[in-house]
A and B are shown apart, each in its own frame.
Chain A
Amino acid sequence: MWAYFLHLGMIRNHFTTFIKHGILTALCIGLFSDCRPDDDVPQFVTYLLRITHKASGSPLVANQVYTDSSGQTYSVNKLNYFISNIKFRNKETGDYYHEVASYHLINALSNPANTEIILRNVPRKKFSEMELSFGVDNSANHSTDNIGDLDPGNGMAWDWKTGYKFMELEGNYTSAGQSGSFLYHTGEDASYRTVTFSFKNLLSNDLDVVKDGQVIFDADIASAFGQPNPVDFKVLNNVMSVSAGAGKIADNNARAFFKMVGAQ
């Protein structure tokens, strides 16, 4: 009888050992092989979005005087704006990348260090176009209870209503002999604009994401005064709401503010 129980006990011990070893083996396989593809290349890479600010074709320098396409002269002393919802997309395959919590405050003059945006976890795929928006989408624009670049302490929350200024552009002008200052603050849902940039136009092909890379934009602020709503500084120089003309400035910027000049 005792031999029978001893035998049962040994079987049980062997069985327990077998299970323990099995779990350990599975864990090892999981740890050392499952997380890596066969070719040992990471599935996701990091992309840098670099912005070079300009004014009428020249590098943007605070308080330097430039001439716009209508012959008016202007200088800029403040340029802050939000970029949001950055996406890469392949229109044929449907492959897609959308940055999580994608809100970036760009302080073009006061903090040149943040004119670079780091896009993490970009999948190694081919993309035909890139999309981004100027402003803050309505899911985040109806409360300032937000952190990061949307923290109201960053000075971009409106003081006359709930929500954010999408762009602060301030400076001085001379137009037909008349001088003065201008202030364009866009904002409100109605001045949120989304723009798309084709990699095919720039590279004659899709952007093939295989390793860490970068996308480079020139951002020429002369766009704000250009087409399709040319700004006569004497007439439109103080904008703080859509009803005062923020939509016109937003349309101008959507058309020409960003120009993709490099992607690799």
Chain B
Amino acid sequence: MPGPFLKWWALSRYFSLVFVSGLILFPACENKEAKLPFAGIPSPGNNPITEEGVAFGRALFQSPLLSADGKSSCFTCHRPDSGFSGSVTHLNPHSKLKREIQGLFNLAWSPSFFWDAREETLESLILKPIQSPDEMNLALPVLLKKVNQNAELTQLCLAAFQTDSIGTVHVARALAQFVRTLVRQPELPDSEGKTLFQEHCSKCHSGKTTSDFQIRKSVLAPSGIDSGYFRITHLPKDVYLFRTPGLAAVSKTAPYTHDGRVPDLDSLVRMYAKRLPAKELEVPARRKELVKFLHLL
């Protein structure tokens, strides 16, 4: 066999082998990526999202064992059909809670939590409503005793964290994992409402999460004694600063603003329109288009 031909033959065999193996391996890798259900959702290094962790978190989220009276679960106030939000102040003026219950979509991208941005991590935040006397009112040692007596929960913990002895850290991490998987970021077609949103709202309600999650002075008139971020820092410059909420499923999270003073989206847009420099949104037809777009978020 002549030398150049042998070289050509070897090279062609080599490249065909590479090509064929690529055909086999590349789609396999692609499939693997596509199969990862939580790919693209950020999570801290010590609490990566796993299917087992989410399953445990979901079970905790819907368990009434997390409340002192055994009657309410996280779902009681964060209802799936309401964008994982609920209403307290608007519907029940006698409630101890003075701030509206926020929706839970897209929190994986948020650097702070609660209306006054006082919590820095989901794992830290998630234990607070459980312990709050005004909410689930359950001390952590009691919580651990209750959940450790539940065989289903201990088995889910075993699958998620390789131990069937549920600790505070497991409750916090599992709940945080579940909440991080609540993602709603629809790709919406161009429309007049979308253009209006981008022109007038997206400076603060920006990106796929429809919020930059920064704290800023509300454009609404102050109400009551809620001084916002000032309650945390006690710095005069922080009076009446609140965290900008995302708008995912906003049509289902009424009433609006931190104190729930605005009953519906049209009223909300009208309220903002009065305070924006451009008067475009004071035209009812245009406002209607914007509200139509907000319903799609």
Residues in chain A within 8 A of chain B (CB atoms): 142-147, 151-153, 155, 157, 159-163, 241, 243-244
Q: Are A145 and B173 in contact (CB under 8 A)?
A: yes
Judged by a CB distance under 8 angstroms, whether B90 is at the interface is no
Digit string of B25-58 for contact with A (CB within 8 Å is 1, else 0)? 0000000000000000000101100000000000
Question: Which A residues are in CB contact (< 8 Å) with B198?
Answer: none
Q: Are B168 and A153 in contact (CB under 8 A)?
A: yes
Question: Which B residues are in CB contact (< 8 Å) with A146?
Answer: 169
Q: Are A145 and B232 in contact (CB under 8 A)?
A: no
Question: Which A residues are in CB contact (< 8 Å) with B46?
Answer: 145
Pick from A145, A161, A163, A243: contact of B172, CB under 8 Å? A145
Q: How far is the CB of A136 from chain B (nearest CB, A)?
A: 13
Question: Which B residues are in CB contact (< 8 Å) with A159?
Answer: 128, 131-132
Q: How far is the CB of A68 from chain B (nearest CB, A)?
A: 28
- New contact pairs (15) apart from A152-B168, A162-B119, A241-B234, CB-CB < 8 Å: A142-B121, A143-B120, A144-B127, A145-B46, A147-B167, A147-B168, A152-B172, A155-B140, A157-B124, A157-B127, A159-B132, A162-B118, A162-B125, A163-B124, A244-B234
Judged by a CB distance under 8 angstroms, whether B233 is at the interface is yes
Q: Are B121 and A143 in contact (CB under 8 A)?
A: yes
Q: How far is the CB of B133 from chain A (nearest CB, A)?
A: 9
Q: How far is the CA of A163 from the CA of B232 in the complex (A)?
A: 13
Pick from B120, B141, B169: contact of A147, CB under 8 Å? B169
Judged by a CB distance under 8 angstroms, whether B123 is at the interface is yes
The chain A residue sitting closest to B117, CB to CB, is: A161
Q: How far is the CA of A244 from the CA of B235 in the complex (A)?
A: 11
Judged by a CB distance under 8 angstroms, whether B88 is at the interface is no
Judged by a CB distance under 8 angstroms, whether B196 is at the interface is no
Contact (A162, B141) CB under 8 Å given A144-B127, A145-B46: no
Question: Which A residues are in CB contact (< 8 Å) with B172?
Answer: 144-145, 152
The chain B residue sitting closest to A147, CB to CB, is: B169
Q: Are B121 and A153 in contact (CB under 8 A)?
A: no
Question: Which B residues are in CB contact (< 8 Å) with A244?
Answer: 234
Pick from B47, B123, B167, B235: contact of A151, CB under 8 Å? B167
Q: Are A151 and B169 in contact (CB under 8 A)?
A: yes
Of the candidates B119, B127, B140, B168, the one having the most CB atoms from chain A within 10 angstroms of its own CB is B168
Question: Which A residues are in CB contact (< 8 Å) with B169?
Answer: 145-147, 151
Q: How far is the CA of A241 from the CA of B234 in the complex (A)?
A: 9
The chain B residue sitting closest to A243, CB to CB, is: B234
Q: How far is the CA of A115 from the CA of B167 in the complex (A)?
A: 24
Pick from A151, A157, A162, A241: contact of B120, CB under 8 Å? A162
Q: Which 4 A-B pairs have the closest CB atoms?
A: A145-B123, A153-B140, A243-B234, A162-B120
Q: Are B118 and A144 in contact (CB under 8 A)?
A: no
Residue total for B at the interface (Cβ-Cβ under 8 A): 27
Digit string of B104-131 for contact with A (CB within 8 Å is 1, else 0)? 0000000000000011110111011001
The chain A residue sitting closest to B46, CB to CB, is: A145
Contact (A153, B120) CB under 8 Å given A159-B131, A241-B234: no
Question: Which A residues are in CB contact (< 8 Å) with B125?
Answer: 162
Question: Which A residues are in CB contact (< 8 Å) with B119?
Answer: 161-162
Q: Are A145 and B124 in contact (CB under 8 A)?
A: yes
9 pairs of residues in contact across A and B, judged by CB atoms under 8 Å:
A144-B172, A145-B124, A146-B169, A151-B167, A152-B127, A152-B140, A153-B167, A162-B119, A243-B235
The chain A residue sitting closest to B118, CB to CB, is: A161
Q: How far is the CB of B95 from chain A (nearest CB, A)?
A: 19
Question: Which A residues are in CB contact (< 8 Å) with B168?
Answer: 147, 151-153
Pick from A145, A151, A160: contact of B121, CB under 8 Å? A145
Q: How far is the CB of B253 from chain A (nearest CB, A)?
A: 25
Q: How far is the CA of A157 from the CA of B167 in the complex (A)?
A: 15
Judged by a CB distance under 8 angstroms, whether B269 is at the interface is no
Pick from B118, B123, B132, B234: contact of A143, CB under 8 Å? B123
Of the candidates B47, B118, B173, B231, the one having the most CB atoms from chain A within 10 angstroms of its own CB is B118
Q: How far is the CB of B258 from chain A (nearest CB, A)?
A: 16
Q: How far is the CA of A159 from the CA of B127 in the complex (A)?
A: 9
Q: How far is the CB of B268 from chain A (nearest CB, A)?
A: 29
Judged by a CB distance under 8 angstroms, whether B262 is at the interface is no
Of the candidates B123, B140, B169, the one having the most CB atoms from chain A within 10 angstroms of its own CB is B169
Question: Which A residues are in CB contact (< 8 Å) with B132?
Answer: 159
Query: Which residues 135-155 of B have a CB within 8 angstroms of A?
Result: 140-141, 144
